[in-house]
């Protein structure tokens, strides 16, 4: 996680100077909102994947959290993201915009705090590792329940929400799994700690509806790519045992990209190897990011 510059409140500052005070309310109460975006090295040069949609979701998250207005407009932040990538000379990187409650008295009234925004970028491999992308990962169903929409916001990437993800992920990794599947408060499959989840059964794709999950932008891209291939996608409730009997499972997210799942709770999924639908979507997604799919132009925003 290294770069030359980080964009902070309107200007690029050297990496080491991008600091906040220990009394920042954001640190005490988890009051931050973030995005995760990727820039890819395309034949047209570095290009950011679905940039405006990520920044739109960033704004949605901030307003859902309860801030009355954004410190910077979507247009300003779109420009700032590109400025940050350019300043660091990256051809491909992960980009992390963060709004954080920077100062103001400690206390639980958002209106008393002042928000700052930073945009960082660094070179980052897949969250679940290259080995996982190629050969698949092992999941466990977590005993931690995914956020209830009346307790935390499932649609918003609020920093504090990720305590729930961190507890589930840490336990899964300590137990020898790669990632945790989280069930929603009704006991149905929601998502993983940092990825959305899909299963394939009898040639059709199924994925939980957006009610209690983050509306993933990679999820949306894969639904489009599946439709392009004529594969039916159902957004419907999924139970834990539907995972166990699936022919294929895969998870996706900006940081993770498209990752096959070979095992859930010690049950082998399908043949225990990457399945044909997962493989097709992985390749289609790869073609998109190489600039070779007909959606590439529409989904990419050139940095230069
Ligand atoms: N669900 C959750 C809970 C989630 O955090 C992410 C992204 C997704 C689904 C997939 O959404 P999208 O990136 O729009 O396709 N997780 C981000 C943070 C991961 C991290 O560990 O940090 C990401 O992938 O950038």
Shared domain for 257 and 153, answered yes or no, is yes
**Same domain, yes or no: 99 and 224:** no
Query: Which H or E run contains 250?
Result: strand 248-253
pLDDT value of residue 125:
87
Quick one: 90 and 165 in the same domain? no
**Model pLDDT for residues 248-277, shown as the tens digit of each residue:** 999 999 999 999 999 999 999 999 999 999
| Tokens representing residue 251 in the block | 């998870």
Ligand 1 centre to CA of 36 (Å) is 7
Which residue, 122, 155, 176, sits at the end of a domain?
122
Q: Provide the 10 A C-beta neighbour count for residue 214.
A: 23
Give distance in angstroms: CA of 199 to centre of ligand 1: 18
With a 6 A CB cut-off, is 25 part of the ligand 1 pocket? no
Structural domain ending residue among the three candidates 122, 155, 189:
122
The domain that holds 57 is classified in CATH as 3.30.470.10
Site to substitute for ligand 1 among 214, 251, 256, 285, most atoms within 8 A of C-beta: 214
Same domain for 281 and 134, yes or no, is yes
What CATH number did the domain enclosing 253 receive? 3.20.10.10
Return the pLDDT at 122.
98
Structural contact between residues 198 and 249, judged by C-beta atoms closer than 8 angstroms? yes
Q: Is 50 left (phi over 0), alpha (psi -120 to 50) or beta?
A: left
Question: How many CA atoms does the CB half-sphere of 249 hold within 13 Å?
Answer: 34
| Same-domain pairing of 136 and 111 | no
Per the structure, the complete domain to which residue 23 belongs is given by 5-122
DSSP H or E run through 13: strand 11-14
The reply to whether ligand 1 has any atom less than 6 angstroms from the CB of 126 is no
| Distance of alpha carbon 286 from the chain centroid | 17
pTM of the model: 0.97
Residue of the CA atom closest to atom 4 of ligand 1: 194
Whether residue 238 contacts residue 206, with contact meaning beta carbons closer than 8 Å, is answered with yes
Same-domain status, 240 and 137: yes
16 is catalytic: no
Q: Which of 82, 157, 169, 268 does the annotation list as catalytic? A: 157
Residue spans of the chain under pLDDT 50:
none
How many angstroms does the Cα of residue 105 sit away from the middle of ligand 1?
31
118 with 240, same domain: the answer is no
Distance CA 292, CA 284 (A): 9
CA 120 to chain centre: 15
Residues 135 and 284 placed together within one structural domain of the fold: yes
Residues linked to residue 239 through DSSP beta bridges, in sequence order = none
Question: In this predicted structure, what is the pLDDT of residue 126?
Answer: 85
């Amino acid at each position: 996680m290294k770069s030359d510059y980080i964009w902070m409140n309107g200007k690029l500052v050297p990496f080491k100077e991008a600091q906040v005070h220990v009394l920042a309310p954001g640190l005490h109460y988890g009051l931050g909102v973030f995005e995760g975006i990727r820039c890819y090295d395309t034949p047209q040069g570095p290009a950011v994947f679905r940039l405006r949609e990520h920044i739109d979701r960033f704004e949605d998250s901030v307003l859902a959290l309860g801030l009355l207005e954004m410190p910077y407009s979507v247009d300003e932040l779109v420009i700032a993201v590109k400025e940050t990538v350019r300043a660091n000379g990256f051809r491909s990187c992960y980009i992390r915009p963060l709004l954080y409650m920077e100062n103001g008295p400690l206390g639980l009234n958002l209106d008393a705090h002042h928000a700052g925004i930073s945009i960082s970028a660094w070179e980052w491999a897949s969250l679940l590792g290259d080995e996982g992308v190629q050969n698949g990962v092992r999941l466990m169903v977590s005993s931690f329940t995914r956020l209830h929409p009346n307790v935390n916001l499932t649609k918003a990437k609020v920093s504090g929400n990720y305590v729930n993800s961190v507890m589930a992920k840490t336990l899964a990794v300590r137990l020898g799994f790669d990632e945790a599947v989280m069930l929603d408060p009704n006991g149905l499959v929601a998502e993983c700690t940092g990825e959305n989840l899909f299963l394939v059964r009898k040639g059709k794709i199924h994925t939980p509806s957006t009610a209690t999950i983050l509306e993933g932008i990679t999820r949306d891209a894969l639904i489009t790519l599946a439709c392009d291939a004529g594969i039916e996608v159902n957004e419907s409730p999924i139970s834990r045992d539907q995972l166990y009997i699936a022919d294929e499972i895969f998870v996706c997210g900006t940081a993770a990209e498209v990752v096959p799942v070979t095992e859930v709770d010690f049950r082998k999924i399908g043949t225990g190897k990457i399945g044909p639908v997962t493989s097709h979507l992985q390749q289609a997604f790869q073609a998109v990011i190489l600039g070779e799919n007909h959606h590439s132009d529409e989904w990419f925003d050139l940095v230069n």
